[in-house]
Structure 1
């Protein structure tokens, strides 16, 4: 179905078990709300500012001892002149690179962490599947052919925080990104409530697929 018919059909199934409900996905996509929820859930979160003030942005970046990064506030579907998709990667930024164009719309800036590696944690209900990601890039999504993936255990504290976070947004599924520092601390970066997972090695992919199928089969009590 297209357009209005599809919208009506989605709204007309209040008792269905979604993984996740489209409205829950939409609510959980807002990056500032994610950071607030992560802090309330007990996650460590890098110092962050969202601003339209260029001077405030420059001052924040100058104050970060390990440097700062810029990341998009929203994953907008931009394309270039040839119609090819364009992605804004997370990138290091210095105060002198920040122009007055920041005033056009809200921009997030975040303290850069001296991370040892990244973690993508896929949560399906109470089942958690975590993979350590080693990449030469600040943003590991940029050149995925250079990644190495290794299954990793989830600390008890992170398990508790994941459960609280999902409960906050009433999510069944979440793809969490963490930066892990030398002290073993998992720092919350973001959670995609509709995130991809099939790029993992087959054992992890198979386990996640089975967990999603179980959720759809068993319903909300799963």
Structure 2
């Protein structure tokens, strides 16, 4: 299906073109594709919901930050006070046109009642530390990379990630089993999982992206990820 968007097309029109092309293609595939999905579109769509992810991770035994999803200013202020105002905020879904990174909640945020009431957001206990893990999960095979970054959301400074701050990592057996169980609960054949190590070295679940980026991890850490991914896809195709 070929998509051509003329120069000068407005944002609303571009959204219409993108959505209709995507939905038409998905409909054709759902009706007629008889191969193996990596992962099925229904599972992918459901797993992209951060609330569903959190429940699945918690049910699988992973540590998750204390969380509030709300647009009630009073409720949010009480939650922040209960955590000594060590709280972050991130979008429930967000939008492609203007990606928003995870931020620490400030007094200015809490004072903006009108903005708070517009839409729910995810408020979570801040996990201190600089050690992050991004794990490529291919079925029960997990290939992890450790990322050393002082940024709250390391994605805000990808250029700052260099060899030496990004290196191969290994999940302990219990955490690996819980991550695998989480993906099974979400019916995902694969996923890219983000964890953060607290000051005691204990992994805390952040989120999973059913089709997350991982090739940059190979370039920065020297970990072979393309090979295992190709092998996984070949096994699934048999």
TM-score (norm 1): 0.88
What's the counterpart of residue 48 of structure 1?
67
Deviation at 1:125, TM superposition (A): 1.2
Is 1:92 the counterpart of 2:111? The answer is: no
Mark the CA change 1:8 to 1:141 in structure 2 (over 3 Å): closer, same or farther: same
Deviation at 1:192, TM superposition (A): 0.6
Is 1:16 the counterpart of 2:29? The answer is: no
What's the counterpart of residue 167 of structure 1?
184
> 2:118 aligned to 92, 98, 104, which one?
104
> 1:185 aligned to 198, 202, 219, which one?
202
- Asked if the contact 2:53/2:186 (under 8 Å) is kept, the reply is no
Measured in 2, the distance between the counterparts of 1:168 and 1:132 equals 25
What SS does the corresponding residue of 1:114 show, helix, strand or coil?
A: coil
Unaligned stretches of 5+ in structure 1? 79-85
What SS does the corresponding residue of 1:12 show, helix, strand or coil?
A: helix
Mark the CA change 1:24 to 1:62 in structure 2 (over 3 Å): closer, same or farther: same
What's the counterpart of residue 6 of structure 1?
25
- Asked if the contact 2:166/2:220 (under 8 Å) is kept, the reply is no
What's the counterpart of residue 114 of structure 1?
128
Is 1:199 the counterpart of 2:216? The answer is: yes
CA RMSD after TM alignment: 2.1
TM-score (norm 2): 0.83
What's the counterpart of residue 215 of structure 1?
232
What's the counterpart of residue 17 of structure 2?
none
What SS does the corresponding residue of 2:192 show, helix, strand or coil?
A: strand
What SS does the corresponding residue of 1:88 show, helix, strand or coil?
A: coil
Measured in 2, the distance between the counterparts of 1:159 and 1:145 equals 29
Measured in 1, the distance between the counterparts of 2:65 and 2:234 equals 38
Deviation at 1:28, TM superposition (A): 0.2
CA deviations over 1:124-162 (Å, ceiling 9, x no partner)? 112111111111311100011112201111111111111
Deviation at 1:203, TM superposition (A): 8.3
- Asked if the contact 2:167/2:221 (under 8 Å) is kept, the reply is no
- Asked if the contact 2:168/2:223 (under 8 Å) is kept, the reply is no
What SS does the corresponding residue of 1:109 show, helix, strand or coil?
A: strand
What SS does the corresponding residue of 2:131 show, helix, strand or coil?
A: strand
Count of aligned positions: 214
Deviation at 1:9, TM superposition (A): 2.2
What's the counterpart of residue 82 of structure 1?
none
CA deviations over 1:147-201 (Å, ceiling 9, x no partner)? 2201111111111111111111111111111110121210001111110001113
